[in-house]
Amino acid sequence: MIVYPEGRMYTGLTPDDVGTLIDEDLMFDQPVERLLAPAEVWG
């Protein structure tokens, strides 16, 4: 999942993570560190 315009990529998401992503990232612009894709994925 990619969040724009912030440009954050999340990997390994489960259905249980969706609520966390909405609450933390989409609502309050706080990345969910444990789900962020590693830098080499973007390279």
Residues contacting residue 16 through CB under 8 Å, at least 6 positions apart: none
Extract the tokens encoding 27.
Answer: 């609502």
Q: Give per-residue pLDDT as tens, 4-42.
A: 888 899 999 999 999 999 999 999 999 999 999 998 887
Res 43: pLDDT: 66
Grouping H, G, I as helix, E, B as strand and the rest as coil, residue 8 is strand
**pLDDT reported for residue 40:** 87
Cα separation, 40 vs 31, in Å, equals: 18
